[in-house]
Each structure stands twice: as C-alpha cells, then as structure tokens.
Amino acid sequence: MRTISITAFLALALVFLGTACGSDNDGPFTDISKRPDVWPKPTDPPPASPIYHDVKERVPTEEEIERESRERPATLAAGIEGALLQGDTLQKETAFVYLLPELLQVEPARLLEMHARLEQGPARRQLASEIARQWMSSDPAAATRWIKGLEGDDRRAAVTAAVGDLAPWAPGTARALAEGAGMGQEAEVRKLLSPAER
C-alpha cells in the first residue's frame, strides 16, 4: 500500500485551490471585489405612513428662533463669565470646551470685552490663556494682534499658552509669536520651544 507524503498532499491541495480561484465561475471562490455585470435597480422609498401622531413638544416659531439666535452670544458670554468667577473646575472646563469656541466663532469682540472688564487676577489670566490658545488655531492673525496688545501677566499667560499649544505642530508660528510679543528669551517660552528646535 502506497502512502502519500504530506508535502505531496499539500501541493495537490494548493493546485486545486489555485485552479478554483482562478476560474471564471460563479462559485464560492469568485473575486468579491469585482464589480458585478448588472447592478440591482434602486427601489423607491416606502410611501409615507398614513398614521400621524400629535407632537406633544411645542415647536418654536420663526420669531422665537430668530430671537434666540440674537440672544445666543450674550447667553454664551454669561455662561463663560459665571464659570470663571464662581464655577468649579468642571464648570470652567465645560465653558472652555463648549461655550468659548462658539462665542469665539460668532462674536469674538464680546470675549475681548469680557477679558478687559475682568479685574486683574487668576480668572483674567485664565481667560487670556484660553482665548489665545483657541483663537490661534482658528484666526492666527487676529489672535496675534490681540496678544501683542496685552500687557504684563495677561500677555505672559496668553503667549505661554499659545506657544505651548503651537510648538509641537507649528514651531515656526510659535517662535514668531513669542518673538513678536517680546517673549522669545523668556525661560518658560524657550523651554516650550526647545523640543521643536531639535
């Protein structure tokens, strides 16, 4: 009785699989990435349901929607200021992540007025940092002009935050901002820029 070696058996199996996969049949080994000759026709959407339900929620009128859109910037500003002055860490984080970017997009002047109105201190510096950091990513020219107009601790906080954010992905912009704001030689700023200069 002759025994077939494992090598010969595997060779025969591979030849069989190669033949099956290479053939132009519609069997289980057809190429699924190949486009079919005939595509099924698109079907029409189902008809609208004849069953209607009364909506219990009140739908706002056009006037209410327009009024809300006019009042939205003031609402955003109030939320940010309240979180800054009286909020805990979570409220501040929420304001900076959700409210500040929206207000910065629709009405940045309101944010700048808020910053100018705040008393000197941690809240004002924190707001300067967040405005600088987020505004540099959306409108670098306007943010740079505003940062250069700041003084003292506010300028230091804004430049440090913006440079720290920019240095990993835009080291040239970060360096230009630091130099333009007169803080290129500050130890903290140089430390932030040093990994980008390697």
Q: Are 182 and 150 in contact (CB under 8 A)?
A: no
Residue 176 has pLDDT above 50, yes or no: yes
Q: Which residues, 6+ apart, have CB-to-CB distance to 180 below 8 Å? A: 144, 148
Look at residue 184 and tell me if it is in a domain. yes
Look at residue 37 and tell me if it is in a domain. no
Q: Are 161 and 190 in contact (CB under 8 A)?
A: no
Domain count, the chain: 1
Q: Are 138 and 104 in contact (CB under 8 A)?
A: yes
Residue 31 has pLDDT above 50, yes or no: no
pLDDT in tens, 51-60: 878 878 888 8
pLDDT the model gives residue 18: 66
Q: What is the DSSP code string of 60-102?
A: PPHHHHHHHHHHHHHHHHHHHHHHHHH--HHHHHHIIIIIHHH
Look at residue 126 and tell me if it is in a domain. yes
Look at residue 10 and tell me if it is in a domain. no
Q: What is the crossing angle of helices 62-86 and 108-117, to 10°?
A: 30
Residue among 197, 150, 147 nearest 171 (CA):
197
pLDDT in tens, 70-99: 999 999 999 999 999 997 899 999 999 999
In whole angstroms, give the CA distance from residue 146 to residue 135. Answer: 10
Look at residue 62 and tell me if it is in a domain. no
What percentage of the chain reaches a pLDDT higher than 70?
83
Look at residue 25 and tell me if it is in a domain. no
In whole angstroms, give the CA distance from residue 45 to residue 123. Answer: 56
By residue range, what is the domain housing residue 107?
A: 71-197
Rounded to an integer, the average pLDDT of 97-103 is: 96
Look at residue 22 and tell me if it is in a domain. no
pLDDT the model gives residue 184: 86
Name residue, tokens 């409108």: 139
pTM of the model: 0.67
Residue among 198, 143, 176, 165 nearest 184 (CA):
176
Look at residue 160 and tell me if it is in a domain. yes
In whole angstroms, give the CA distance from residue 74 to residue 110. Answer: 8
In whole angstroms, give the CA distance from residue 79 to residue 88. Answer: 13
In whole angstroms, give the CA distance from residue 153 to residue 122. Answer: 10
